[in-house]
Chains A and B, each alone.
Chain A
Amino acid sequence: MTAAEPVELVEHFFRHESAKLVSVLTRAFGIARLELVEESVQEAMMAALRSWRQRGVPHNPAGWIHRVARNRALDALRREKVHQLALSLSGQTEEATEALIDDWLLEERLPDSLLRMMFVCCHPALEQRSQIALTLNILCGFSVSEVARGLLISVEAGKKRIQRAKKTLADAQVRVDLPTAGELKSRLAVVQTVLYVMFNEGYSTSRGHEPLRDDVCEEAARLCHLLCEHETFSTPSTRALLALMLFHGARLEARVDSEGAVILLEDQDRARWDRRLIRVGERWLARAGSERLTRFHLEAAIALLHCHSPSVEETPWGQIVDLYDRLLVLSDSPLYTLNRAIARGEAGHPREALVAIESIRGDREMRDYYLLDCAAGRLHELLGDRSLALAAYSRARSEAGAPHARALLDKKLARLR
């Protein structure tokens, strides 16, 4: 018995080891072997679970799992007849392959394989929803049902999407490579968008609260950080994106009450915002200087203004309106229009803001979007029109799908009545 000093596993140890191993082994054996690789990794982790659960975690748990997974994958390949053929084609002996894998699994070499895999999961041959699902599955170690829960789709739909994506990649014989200099810009933009949407997906508790969705945010930020640590991918826009995630992340805790109901910005206890995360975000934003400001820069700037404001009243709404104006130049999104209207309303122009909100009501993206009527309710409140505010909040309540969103609106309604 070695009960003296039990080794504690770091948080999400299995998840992240799974991502590392699948990335390295797929890089070694090719995308066509993804399934075999995933099975080997799964078996290695089950072996670890059975071996450690009674005797405790060994001193180098990562090394333990790496060796077992590598050996399982090689064993499985040896059983395949094509293995010999594959070896003779690649000109690698088995010993050389083994040494290569061990080298790639070294702590300092790991990011290289993870980044390669990130570009594979965000391959342009896949549609965006599949890119996100695959990233969560492979690079974040989420099981298929966890991906489904994180993205609010059925397990069946998630399974189909992930299987199809893997097949597409295998059929296209996608190589586990980094993008070439020529395609770097467009490929990096896709990865950034995937991480951005993934983060928002986790962040929007608007459709159901679930701790797993905080994990989705955390994972998006972790992967973005990985990009920021790399000399080529750490561009101003990548850094701005990381800053944006950290500013939003700083408010995650304060966004829900003890019963899981959403608390809107105006009602949040700002003392609960994570000052440390805000400072880290500021450092990244300071290093994101560029002549061409992207939406990540502008959105990060807005988020930072909120982070620095002691209250709704003391928020520099005029500056925020200006930043939304610049965002609307980049992209004519109704979401920007909605948020600009909210800022304009708080800046003392609620009547004009209501007109703006009505102008996007017909937009496809805004249909049945309860936050639109929620914003309208707030504007009517600012105008001192209780009955119209009540009507807007009631409409929002009927559009809200998730129980916690309805709970939020019930509170608003109760306060007004």
Chain B
Amino acid sequence: MAKFLFVYRGGHESPEPPSPEQMQQIMQTWMDWIQGGTEAGWMVDGGTGLKAEGQVVQPDLVVTDGPFAEAKELVGGFSIVQADDLAAATKLAKTSPMIAGGGSVEVREFMNYDIP
């Protein structure tokens, strides 16, 4: 089993923000997905969401407000999952509520620590 990082970007940038009732549905879908994955064993850590505002430290130690990405490119959160290989992890990512919400999921395999 290999471990993977799911990086969530964007989502829910429709011109009209979701209504309270829609928010509740989105929330429920996420919680069901995370809980389902945890029970099935492939969701190692549901992870967390990230605030939009932050700062970036440049090589010259200059600190800028950032990351100033487009909303759809902004990293909004991450989770850690385990799967047999990249293809299997990608298959799991496709079931993420992020996709249904118009966002994207980047799937990245953890580097081997043991000698491969």
Binding partners A and B:
yes
Binding site for B on A (CB under 8 A): 1, 3, 6, 9, 12-15, 17-18, 42, 45-46, 48-57, 141-146
Q: Check B31–A45 contact: CB distance below 8 A.
A: no
Complex: chain B residue closest to A215, CB-CB: B21
Cβ 8 A contact of B49, one of A15, A42, A50: A50
Q: Check B24–A54 contact: CB distance below 8 A.
A: no
Of the stretches B40-48, B57-65, B106-114, the one at the interface is B40-48
CA distance A186 to B21 in the complex (A): 33
Complex: chain B residue closest to A54, CB-CB: B46
Which of A53, A55, A146 is the most central at the interface, judged by chain B CB atoms within 10 Å of its CB? A53
Taking the closest CB of chain A, its distance from the CB of B12, in whole angstroms, is: 8
Query: B17-59 toward A: CB 8 Å interface, digit per residue (1/0)?
Result: 1111111101110110011001000000111110000000000
Q: List the A side residues contacting B45 at CB < 8 Å.
A: 1
Q: Check B24–A14 contact: CB distance below 8 A.
A: yes
Complex: chain B residue closest to A41, CB-CB: B20
CA distance A141 to B18 in the complex (A): 12
Complex: chain A residue closest to B21, CB-CB: A15
With A6-B35, A9-B24, A14-B27 given, name 10 new contacts (CB 8 A). Answer: A18-B20, A48-B23, A53-B34, A54-B47, A54-B49, A55-B48, A57-B27, A142-B19, A143-B20, A146-B19
Q: List the A side residues contacting B47 at CB < 8 Å.
A: 54
Q: List the B side residues contacting A142 at CB < 8 Å.
A: 19, 21
CA distance A1 to B34 in the complex (A): 11
Taking the closest CB of chain B, its distance from the CB of A12, in whole angstroms, is: 7
Given contacts A1-B45, A1-B46, A3-B38, contact A53 B27 (CB under 8 A): yes
CA distance A51 to B77 in the complex (A): 9
Pick 26 A–B contacts, CB within 8 A, sort by A. Answer: A3-B35, A6-B35, A9-B27, A12-B24, A14-B27, A18-B20, A42-B17, A45-B20, A46-B23, A49-B23, A50-B49, A51-B49, A52-B31, A53-B49, A54-B34, A54-B79, A55-B48, A55-B49, A141-B19, A141-B20, A142-B21, A143-B16, A143-B18, A143-B20, A143-B21, A143-B22
Q: List the B side residues contacting A1 at CB < 8 Å.
A: 45-46
Complex: chain A residue closest to B38, CB-CB: A3
Query: B62-89 toward A: CB 8 Å interface, digit per residue (1/0)?
Result: 0000000000000011010000000000
Q: Check A52–B19 contact: CB distance below 8 A.
A: no
Q: List the B side residues contacting A52 at CB < 8 Å.
A: 27, 31
Q: Check B27–A141 contact: CB distance below 8 A.
A: no
Complex: chain A residue closest to B17, CB-CB: A42
Q: List the B side residues contacting A3 at CB < 8 Å.
A: 35, 38, 46
Q: List the A side residues contacting B34 at CB < 8 Å.
A: 53-54, 56
CA distance A15 to B23 in the complex (A): 9
Cβ 8 A contact of B20, one of A15, A54, A55, A56: A15
Taking the closest CB of chain A, its distance from the CB of B7, in whole angstroms, is: 12
CA distance A38 to B60 in the complex (A): 42
Q: List the B side residues contacting A141 at CB < 8 Å.
A: 19-21
CA distance A51 to B19 in the complex (A): 17
Q: Check A53–B30 contact: CB distance below 8 A.
A: yes
Q: List the B side residues contacting A12 at CB < 8 Å.
A: 20-21, 24
Q: List the A side residues contacting B16 at CB < 8 Å.
A: 143-145
Which of A17, A46, A54, A146 is the most central at the interface, judged by chain B CB atoms within 10 Å of its CB? A54
CA distance A396 to B108 in the complex (A): 62
Which 4 pairs show the lowest CB-CB distances between chains A and B?
A143-B19, A14-B20, A53-B30, A50-B49
Q: List the A side residues contacting B24 at CB < 8 Å.
A: 9, 12-15
Cβ 8 A contact of B21, one of A6, A14, A55: A14
Q: List the A side residues contacting B97 at CB < 8 Å.
A: 53
Taking the closest CB of chain B, its distance from the CB of A95, in whole angstroms, is: 26
Complex: chain B residue closest to A50, CB-CB: B49
Q: List the B side residues contacting A49 at CB < 8 Å.
A: 23, 26-27
Q: List the A side residues contacting B23 at CB < 8 Å.
A: 14, 45-46, 48-49
Q: List the B side residues contacting A48 at CB < 8 Å.
A: 23
Q: List the A side residues contacting B27 at CB < 8 Å.
A: 9, 14, 49, 52-53, 57
CA distance A146 to B79 in the complex (A): 33
Complex: chain A residue closest to B29, CB-CB: A53
CA distance A52 to B38 in the complex (A): 16
CA distance A205 to B79 in the complex (A): 44
CA distance A13 to B24 in the complex (A): 7
Given contacts A3-B38, A49-B27, A145-B16, contact A54 B21 (CB under 8 A): no
Q: Check A50–B46 contact: CB distance below 8 A.
A: no
Q: Check B19–A54 contact: CB distance below 8 A.
A: no
CA distance A5 to B24 in the complex (A): 19
Q: List the B side residues contacting A146 at CB < 8 Å.
A: 19, 21
Q: List the B side residues contacting A15 at CB < 8 Å.
A: 20-21, 24
CA distance A399 to B5 in the complex (A): 59
Q: Check B77–A54 contact: CB distance below 8 A.
A: yes
